[in-house]
């Protein structure tokens, strides 16, 4: 049968949609034309017939498989929608929809893309723990062992480097990348296996655009091995005359998207996520040298960044495939329509309210997806977005040097999370010290499947406070370095690892008990994540792992269990990891999709006036919103589910413990500023505890206004609401335009002191809690005195009076003094004297 007859037959059989006929026919004509350059007409037609039939058959099989997987996903999701009940026992399709994107205690056993992403990424990190340990980030955000990293790249490209260690690390990377490819394909994807792949490419769109289309093509083309590249249309080796056309399409995608993703031509074959991952394997470099050279000019700042970014991107796509099916867009539209229909069929006075709520939920879902896949950060104007991103990063490096002291309040959240899931809080605290001081224990946690955020990311500490991490590499590393050396990032990671370790230890400690006999809080924790009696029996049958005298069951042990069906083992290990990773977010809150979607910045893209204003206004407010969507939400649901006593007990426990820890953090910060602790009793006691309550909930900056109109960064309430960027802009205006206008008007300027004040507030690293006082007293205070001795002395006296008036506290290291006059007066906290 000729290919034309074959096409017509498949159209009649419903295999090829009518609208695809032209596409398939054009492909046949193109293959025939190419073959005619080296074959006789009859042979060319036969070649085109054979290849098109292969492609049609392959595409048909792939689409049939994807259709079946999509149908299965939709059936599963429909069951989730039908089964979902609020804590009060009511149906709620809108809440059920959002439960597929972010965690909801009411959605028992329902996996969501946020948790699945972390579970998959944790498994991938575990597979290449040796690579992550070898090249983990330094305090300045750099990568260790650069020479070995280059050897790893050579080994990954199949080139001998005479470095046995690099060869083993390249193998570990290859195994993790191949594991991600296989899992992506299992979810409905279609990434061909390539032994000669090497490493993924990344592209800085700003640099590529700056060079220009023709210059970029001239730059990259000699580095590519066209003979090993696959034509995305014909699925045959790339012809030389087609390479320019393909690179032209690659340039368009890089320049227009603003992300390090390359999608070659051929997207007409389908818009499913499952069909869009071959881009990472399209460009094939001749060798490691050419890859390294191109990456140094246009890609990630180092090969390590390219590797970890690729695994993170794969984990995100795998999560969407496994939770939402091969066509997540279609699934989400189905969910939206279900929510819209449910609201529309409501009757009575509640219909308008239901419709409004449905629209709000759909808007939230769309924001959560945009945050998850990164499209929320696709800038309207890349240059403007980068400048403002740099400003936010510099402000973070200048203003959050003492954030570690605030983060000590995490202890209260760890206690609440441990109590709620039936874990031992004392065990978590004991393990925290071990994790913080022992690199071998950290490595064991990574191998167990806990994400190695502190080794791979430059944003772990920043994630607690900022909505996004835009800006150039230098400013991002600057901000991250300050948060690392301040202790915030190590504290955050240690707390998360310690809690995860304790959870895995509890799995081993309770393995002798049947599901029905488990302690009630622990059993409820398992139930929340779909670990039923059968799943529990499978998990507890696994031999525990031992480290530092502590036994625990690792998700990886479940995944590799010989007595379980591989698919079942994969599913159990993933659900187990989802449980651990999600509860870690309650123990040490950082950021969540729900919280980030609730902030105004999620409504506008960076690079626009509105977007940048909103990002300024929401700086440092991410953590507080996260607390609302974790602990406060959990407490409200418990109130609805178990009655007022249980829920109010959770909320009151949360408020009291967070307030106590917030108070401790406040007192430490007071002493770090050179002041005595604030009175906790007497006339000033109420103001202190009000501020402590806000501090414990992540809104510490607003606690400054309970008894003072100046915040810790030197701005008023209006400036605080507008955000640090607006405040910094106002400071810069006063320093420049303000002084210039005063000079033109013949007035005396305060340029010297205002320059010192600006430097005091905006110098990176100047707020580090353990060096801040020495820097302020011996550098900025001294500069202030040199600029205008009389005004500086008067300002210091005002600061002392304000501290006494507002907080009934004095200075143990007074402004303008080179050395402290005395030790902090700890007793002031108790009696106010």
d(CA 307, CA 312): 9
Q: What's residue 685's pLDDT? A: 85
Average pLDDT of the residues in 490-502: 93
Q: What's residue 644's pLDDT? A: 67
Is residue 429 a contact partner of residue 363, using CB atoms and an 8 Å limit? no
pTM: 0.88
Say if residue 463's pLDDT is above 60. no
Q: What's residue 540's pLDDT? A: 93
Say if residue 806's pLDDT is above 70. yes
Q: Name the percent of the chain lying above pLDDT 90.
A: 40
Per the DSSP assignment, residues forming a β-bridge with 550 are: 547
CA 705 to chain centre: 32
The number of beta carbons lying within 10 Å of the beta carbon of residue 230 is 18
Q: What is the mean pLDDT of the chain?
A: 84
Say if residue 433's pLDDT is above 50. yes
Helices within 486-643 (DSSP H only): 488-509, 520-528, 533-540, 555-559, 566-587, 593-598, 609-617, 622-627, 633-642
Q: Give pLDDT tens digits for 241-264.
A: 678 888 888 888 887 754 434 333
- Of 6 and 527, more confident: 527
Task: Indicate the pLDDT class of residue 453, thresholds 50, 70 and 90.
Answer: confident
Average pLDDT of the residues in 799-822: 90
- Of 538 and 60, more confident: 538
Task: Indicate the pLDDT class of residue 372, thresholds 50, 70 and 90.
Answer: very high
Q: What's residue 266's pLDDT? A: 34
In the numeric block, which tokens belong to residue 700?
């510490």
Query: 620: closest CA among 651, 591, 654?
Result: 591
Nearest 5°: the CA angle 155, 156, 157 is: 90
Is residue 409 a contact partner of residue 661, using CB atoms and an 8 Å limit? yes
Say if residue 191's pLDDT is above 80. yes
Least confident of 151-165, 521-535, 712-726, 787-801: 712-726
d(CA 467, CA 169): 34
- Of 461 and 410, more confident: 410
Q: 196 by DSSP, 3-state: which?
A: coil
Average pLDDT of the residues in 682-706: 69
Q: Which residues of 152-191 are buried (b: 16+ CB within 10 A; e: fewer)?
A: bbbbbbeeebebeebbebbbbbbebbebbbebbbebbbbb
Spans of all domains in the chain: 3-81, 113-324, 401-586, 649-831
Q: Give pLDDT tens digits for 725-748.
A: 888 888 888 888 888 887 887 887
Average pLDDT of the residues in 800-815: 90
d(CA 156, CA 201): 13
In the numeric block, which tokens belong to residue 76?
């599963």
Q: What's residue 3's pLDDT? A: 63
Task: Indicate the pLDDT class of residue 21, thresholds 50, 70 and 90.
Answer: confident
The number of beta carbons lying within 10 Å of the beta carbon of residue 193 is 10
Q: What's residue 232's pLDDT? A: 67
d(CA 201, CA 446): 25
In the numeric block, which tokens belong to residue 468?
């996004």
- Of 286 and 621, more confident: 286
Average pLDDT of the residues in 718-728: 71
In the numeric block, which tokens belong to residue 628?
């609302």
Q: Give pLDDT tens digits for 148-164.
A: 999 999 999 988 888 89
Average pLDDT of the residues in 794-817: 90
The number of beta carbons lying within 10 Å of the beta carbon of residue 60 is 14
Render 602-666 in DSSP notation, one character per residue.
Answer: GGS-TTSHHHHHHHHHTTT-HHHHHHIIIIIHHHHHHHHHH-HHHHHHHHHHHHHHHHHHHHHHH
Q: What's residue 1's pLDDT? A: 53
d(CA 755, CA 736): 9
Query: 197: closest CA among 324, 307, 46?
Result: 307
Say if residue 199's pLDDT is above 50. yes
Q: What's residue 715's pLDDT? A: 52
Task: Indicate the pLDDT class of residue 651, thresholds 50, 70 and 90.
Answer: confident
Query: 700: closest CA among 624, 768, 647?
Result: 624
């Amino acid at each position: 049968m000729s290919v034309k007859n074959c096409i017509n037959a498949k159209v009649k059989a419903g295999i090829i949609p009518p609208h695809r006929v032209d596409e398939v026919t054009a492909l046949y004509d193109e293959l025939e034309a190419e073959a005619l350059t080296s074959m006789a007409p009859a042979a060319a037609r036969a070649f085109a017939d054979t290849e098109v039939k292969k492609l049609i058959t392959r595409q048909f099989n792939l689409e049939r498989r994807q259709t079946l997987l999509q149908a299965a996903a939709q059936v599963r999701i429909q069951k989730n929608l039908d089964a979902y009940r609020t804590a009060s026992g009511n149906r709620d399709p809108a809440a059920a929809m959002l439960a597929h994107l972010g965690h909801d205690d009411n959605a028992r056993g329902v996996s969501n893309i946020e948790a699945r992403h972390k579970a998959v990424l944790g498994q991938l990190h575990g597979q290449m723990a040796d690579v992550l340990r070898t090249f983990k980030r330094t305090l300045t955000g750099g990568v260790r062992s650069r020479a070995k990293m280059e050897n790893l790249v050579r080994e990954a490209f199949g080139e001998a480097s005479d470095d046995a260690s690099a060869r083993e690390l390249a193998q570990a990377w290859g195994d993790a990348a191949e594991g991600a490819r296989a899992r992506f394909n299992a979810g409905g994807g279609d990434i061909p296996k390539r032994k000669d792949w090497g490493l993924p490419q990344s592209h800085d769109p700003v640099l590529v655009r700056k060079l220009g289309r023709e210059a970029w093509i001239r730059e990259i083309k000699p580095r590519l091995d066209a003979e090993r590249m696959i034509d995305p249309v014909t699925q045959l080796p790339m012809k030389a005359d087609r390479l320019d056309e393909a690179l032209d399409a690659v340039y368009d995608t890089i320049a227009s998207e603003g992300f390090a993703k390359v999608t070659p031509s051929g997207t007409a074959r389908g818009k499913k996520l499952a069909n869009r991952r071959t881009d990472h394997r399209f460009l094939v470099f001749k060798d490691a040298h050419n890859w390294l050279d191109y990456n140094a000019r246009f890609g990630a700042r180092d090969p390590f960044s390219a590797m970890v970014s690729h695994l993170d991107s794969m984990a995100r796509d795998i999560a969407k495939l496994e939770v939402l099916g091969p066509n997540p867009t279609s699934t989400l539209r189905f969910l939206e329509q279900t929510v819209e229909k449910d609201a529309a069929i409501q009757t009575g006075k509640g219909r308008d309210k239901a419709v409004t709520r449905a629209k709000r939920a759909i808007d939230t879902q769309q924001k959560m997806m945009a945050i998850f896949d990164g499209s929320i950060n696709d800038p309207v104007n890349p240059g403007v977005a980068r400048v403002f991103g740099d400003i936010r990063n510099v402000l973070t490096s200048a203003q959050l040097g003492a954030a570690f002291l605030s983060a000590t309040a995490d202890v209260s959240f760890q206690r609440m999370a441990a109590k709620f899931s039936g874990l031992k809080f004392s065990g978590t605290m004991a393990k925290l010290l071990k994790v913080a001081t022992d690199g071998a224990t950290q490595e064991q946690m990574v191998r167990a499947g806990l994400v190695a955020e502190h080794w791979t990311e430059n944003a772990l500490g920043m994630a607690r406070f900022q909505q996004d991490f835009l800006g150039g590499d230098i400013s991002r590393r600057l901000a991250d370095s300050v948060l690392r050396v301040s202790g915030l990032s190590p504290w955050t990671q240690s707390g998360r690892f310690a809690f995860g370790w304790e959870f895995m230890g509890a799995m081993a400690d309770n393995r002798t008990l049947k599901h029905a006999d488990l302690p009630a809080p622990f059993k409820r924790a398992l139930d929340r994540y779909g670990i039923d009696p059968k799943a529990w029996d499978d998990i507890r049958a696994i031999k525990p792992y031992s480290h530092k005298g502590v036994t625990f069951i690792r998700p990886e042990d479940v995944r590799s269990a010989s007595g379980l069906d591989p698919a079942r083992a994969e599913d159990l290990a993933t659900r187990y990891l989802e449980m651990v990773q999600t509860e870690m977010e309650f123990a040490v809150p950082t950021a969540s999709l729900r919280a980030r979607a609730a902030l105004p910045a999620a409504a506008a893209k960076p690079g626009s006036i509105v977007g940048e204003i909103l990002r300024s206004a929401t700086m440092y407010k991410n953590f507080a919103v996260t607390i609302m969507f974790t602990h406060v939400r959990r407490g409200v649901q418990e109130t609805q589910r178990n009655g007022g006593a249980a829920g109010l007990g959770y909320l009151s426990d949360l408020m009291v413990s967070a307030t106590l820890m917030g108070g401790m953090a406040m007192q430490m910060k007071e002493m770090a500023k050179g002041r005595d602790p604030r009175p906790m009793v007497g006339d000033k006691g109420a103001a202190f505890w009000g501020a402590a309550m806000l501090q414990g909930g992540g809104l510490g900056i607003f606690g400054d206004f309970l008894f003072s109109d100046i915040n810790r960064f030197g701005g008023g309430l209006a400036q605080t609401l507008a955000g640090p960027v607006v405040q910094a802009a106002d400071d810069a205006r006063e320093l420049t335009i303000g002084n210039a206008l005063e000079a033109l008007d013949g007035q005396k300027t305060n340029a010297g002191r205002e320059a010192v004040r600006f430097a005091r507030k905006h110098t990176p690293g100047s707020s580090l809690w353990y060096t801040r006082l020495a820097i302020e007293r011996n550098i900025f205070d001294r500069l202030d005195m040199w600029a205008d001795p009389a005004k500086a002395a008067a300002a210091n006296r005002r600061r002392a009076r304000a501290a006494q008036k507002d907080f009934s506290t004095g200075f143990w290291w007074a402004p303008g003094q080179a050395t402290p006059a005395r030790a902090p007066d700890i007793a002031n906290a108790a009696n106010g004297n």
